[in-house]
Chains A and B, each alone.
Chain A
Amino acid sequence: MSTAPARGRTAPEVTCASVTKTFRGREQSVTALDRVDLRLAPGTLTALVGPSGCGKSTLLRIIAGLEQADEGSMVLLDGISPDAMRERGEIAVAFQDASLLPWRTARSNVALAQKLARQPVDRERIDRLLTLVGLAGFENAKPSQLSGGMRQRAAIARCLITSPRLMLLDEPFGAVDELTRRRLNLELPPTWADTGTTTLLVTHSIPEAVLLADDVVVMTARPGRIAATVAVDLPRPRRAAHLHTPEYHRLVDEVGTLLGVDEDFEPSTGGQP
């Protein structure tokens, strides 16, 4: 099921040490991340969950080298900097809104990634990959002609085409409906299994995190800190059947408790009409 030969590559190890990020505004500064330590084991998928504004996406962008962390922070990908890894075209990022270029067809959007990564454009492989993600027959469709789910799948194909060693997924399924999301969750991860890829997934969805990840990292907000890491040892490949196992539910509950979803909220005492 894998899309590319692993080419004997090893997946990179990602190390973040005391990563701090402060956004300086006019009146006040906001500490988005406060001395975050994180390690992504080679070849694993780590899910980052947390409330809105806890700095998940910021951390992902720092690992991608799209954002600079504050002084004293350290991010190393197999011992080299994110910038150096980007220059080699070994990173791929999937964004929340697919971010396909609207004037390009699905095929040419995928081909663009190869061009940007300075790889020869392999049309045959692009079409195979598009078929794999379920877009056979839509190679020449423009993004505006695709449904939301189809766009996300094209974006994933664009991510995979360069055989990245590090894949950074920033809520790639955030904009699709629940049913489509579940479906993408089950169908897509096998396409990059065993390709020597380390993956970081930022998500709001606890079930999604548990279903996809080897490790679920729980963050808290203001300032963004890592609260806990939960190891998920469900067997791979993950299937829909796993969704009904007690182990899965226990993990979802555990992550949920760490995030505080079970807390009772005080009813408002204000005089409501």
Chain B
Amino acid sequence: MTLAPPGIERRATSGGAWRERVTIPPPPTRGQLTLAGRAVGGWVALILVWEFIARQVLDGTRLIAAPSAIVVDAVEKADLYGRAFRYTGTEAFWGYVWGNLAAIALAGLVAVLPITERLVLRVALVVFCLPLVAIGPILRLIFGLGDGPQITLSALAVYYTTLVPLLVGLRAVPSNWLDLVHSYGRGRLTALLVVRARACVPYLMSGLQVGVPAAFLGALVGEFTGAERGVGVLTILALRSLDTDGLWALAALSSAFSVIGYVLVGEIGRRLSTGQPPIILAPPPARTRARSAPRRFVAGVFEATWMTGLVIGAWALFFWLFGLNSYFAKTPVDVWRWLISDVDAGAHRVEIFGALGSTVAFAIPGYFAGLALGVLLAAIFELSSSVRRTVTPVAVALRCVPIVAIAPLLVQALGRGAVGTMVVVALMTFFPTLVACMYGLQQTPGQVDDFFATFAVPRWRVLLLAQLPAMAPAFFSAARIACPAAILAATVAEWLATGTGIGNLMAVAAGTSVYGTLWASVVVVTVFAVLLYWLVEVVERFVLKRVAPEQVSW
């Protein structure tokens, strides 16, 4: 019944331990110093290989810019880039602040009124699944010029990955701590302020950390939708003028920008945390009461119905409150007409679902390739601890590269066909999956490891029998979060580069003011992303029930 609170060693001191014992953090050992050396070595090796390939193998193909060329470009245009990054950075900062404040407010609401949890999480997911690519132009119409859309998109990209771990953190409190508060006659609010608010800090920080690259990504997408300045604008200009060095320099600087923010927030988190910071990004599926299958189905249909009703209601209310122009602000009724009851509805459906189909045809293989590669590499790294130590820092750093910033570059390098989109989606899925799986593989209890060791079981069998099942919760949380991310990556790639699929359809619809298509596409893409997320959740529940029942029934 008692969870070990973070940072507390629960083992009783062994015999003769009356002497006061204070644990002092040990000085860095030789092993840790070599670790840093290995990380640096890994980076240097990576850059050398990159330089070689760019200069020798792919010279003149405009596929990859050599690191030295990137540095030269960045130095030459330092002034231009400096201003752009200051502008985009400011947008991302405000989006980050607003998005996280919204997440904290929602989490506070759930903590005080737990009955709202399901509602808040579901609605938050629907909003998170909105295609930023289409929301951008719509916001542009509402805000006009300026940084409003960028900040809003940035906030939208951030809040969900903060909200979810925050809710886990608020809940993951040893029951004794709450009993302590209640034993002095205090209620839920005091428990929230005194215990939960502080206990959730490591979880909050892990969410805030992941949010840094997401905020930057949101601001970039916002700028793609017609801003006058910023990194996104420069990216589009470089893309149009086939300026490979410029594109790579912008992508490298964007990545560096995100990595610095990521490391900074991580460092603050480490200072505040009293134990191991958690990396789990999403909770196990919400607990459900034991019901028979048909009743579960009925309850699910019921929930889906009222959730849809709620979202549609909120949509209509939003328009009514802001008094938006009905020319571009299409209501649920308009979308219904566009897709179902109009004379041309059939043609509209063919257009939108055809585009979605071609997107899905690339996005889904990319998504699975990313997942598979993430698991496979994590497993390989796990088998060799020296490889793992070298690769881990690189993988963690690459996780916070805003993939959207390099999407145009990848598509340019790999061609406008299927491969480009697939690779972008795979990368978007791969890094979070890899980091989550590497973390998950470490979650095998020490005694289990020892148990296998007593039989001298080979490493790969330990991996198969003990570590892969232990990894499942981390893997699935990454897989779920990756669904909307994969769709975002696919639509951005299509919109900026390939000129196919639903991403392009939305961009064209926005550009040519066919708002019926735009809004209908938003609905279709959102529903698709939510369905995908839900599907992963179903598989997750099915698997976890078998390999990690304690994660499901609590």
**Set of chain B residues within 8 Å of A66, measured between Cβ atoms:** 179, 182-183
State whether B13 touches A147 (Cβ < 8 A): yes
Interface residues on B, range: 35 or more
B456 beta carbon closer than 8 Å to chain A: no
Q: A93-B179, A96-B2 are in contact. List 20 more A-B contacts (CB 8 A).
A: A66-B179, A92-B183, A92-B184, A95-B2, A95-B179, A99-B5, A101-B195, A102-B7, A143-B8, A147-B13, A147-B17, A147-B20, A148-B9, A149-B13, A151-B8, A162-B184, A177-B15, A180-B13, A180-B18, A183-B18
Q: Is B341 an interface residue (CB 8 A)?
A: no
CB distance from A25 to the nearest CB of B (A): 10
Contacting residues of chain B (1-27) with chain A, CB-CB under 8 angstroms? 2, 5-18, 20-23
User: Would you give 19 A-B contacts (Cβ < 8 Å), ordered by A?
Assistant: A89-B185, A91-B183, A91-B185, A92-B184, A97-B2, A101-B195, A112-B194, A115-B194, A116-B180, A143-B7, A143-B8, A144-B7, A144-B23, A148-B9, A162-B184, A168-B183, A176-B12, A178-B15, A179-B18
The residue of chain A having its C-beta at the shortest distance from the C-beta of B21 within the complex is A147
In B167-216, the 8 Å CB interface with A consists of 174, 176-177, 179-186, 190, 194-195, 198-199, 201
Instruction: Identify which of residues 189-245 in chain A touch chain B, using a CB-to-CB cut-off of 8 Å.
Output: none
Chain B residues, Cβ within 8 Å of A77: none
- B179 with A102: CB separation less than 8 A: no
Chain B CB within 8 A of A138 CB: yes
**Cβ–Cβ contact A177 & B17, under 8 A:** yes
Contacts of B17 in A (CB 8 A): 147-149, 177, 179-180
Chain B residues within 8 Å of A100, by CB: 8
Partner of A144 from B9, B13, B177 at Cβ < 8 Å: B9
A179 to B12, CA, bound (A): 11
Whether, in the assembled complex, A252 has its beta carbon less than 8 Å from a beta carbon of chain B, the answer is: no
Say yes or no: is A62 at the interface (Cβ < 8 Å to chain B). no
Tell yes or no: A17 within 8 A of B by CB: no
A24 at the interface (CB under 8 A from B): no
Write the B72-113 contact mask toward A (1 if CB under 8 angstroms, else 0): 000000000000000000000000000000000000000000
Q: Are B13 and A138 in contact (CB under 8 A)?
A: no
A198: min CB distance to chain B, Å: 15
A 16-28 binary contact with B (CB < 8 Å = 1; else 0): 0000000000100
- Judge whether B290 is part of the interface by a CB distance below 8 angstroms: yes
Q: Are A97 and B10 in contact (CB under 8 A)?
A: yes
Chain B residues with CB below 8 A from A93, complex form: 179-180, 183
Q: Which residues of A contact B199 (CB under 8 A)?
A: 101
With A150-B20, A175-B12, A177-B14: A101-B198 Cβ-Cβ less than 8 Å? yes
From A89, A92, A102, contact of B274 by CB (8 A): A102
B185 with A141: CB separation less than 8 A = no
B275 at the interface (CB under 8 A from A): yes
Tell me the B residues contacting A by CB distance below 8 Å: 2, 5-18, 20-23, 174, 176-177, 179-186, 190, 194-195, 198-199, 201, 274-275, 290
Closest Cβ–Cβ distance, residue A154 to chain B (whole Å): 12
CB pair A99 B177 closer than 8 Å:
yes
Q: How far is the CA of A99 from the CA of B173 in the complex (A)?
A: 11
**Interface status of A87 (Cβ within 8 A of chain B):** yes
Residue among B11, B176, B201, B275 facing the most chain A CB atoms (10 A cut-off)? B176
In the complex, A101→B290 CA distance in Å? Answer: 34
- Chain A residue with Cβ nearest B23: A145
A211 smallest CB distance to B (angstroms): 18
Which of A97, A142, A149 interacts with B176 by CB under 8 Å? A97
- Closest chain B residue to A175 by CB distance? B12
Let me know if B13 and A116 touch, CB within 8 A: no
**Could you tell me if B174 and A148 are in contact, using CB atoms closer than 8 angstroms?**
no
**Pick the contact of B184 from A91, A102, A175, A178 — CB < 8 Å?**
A91
| Bound Cα distance from A99 to B496, whole angstroms | 55
Residues of A within 8 A of B6 (CB): 102
* A88: Cβ under 8 A from any B Cβ: yes
Cross-chain contact of A142 among B11, B190, B195, B274 (Cβ < 8 A): B274
Name the B residues within 8 Å of A112 (CB-CB): 194
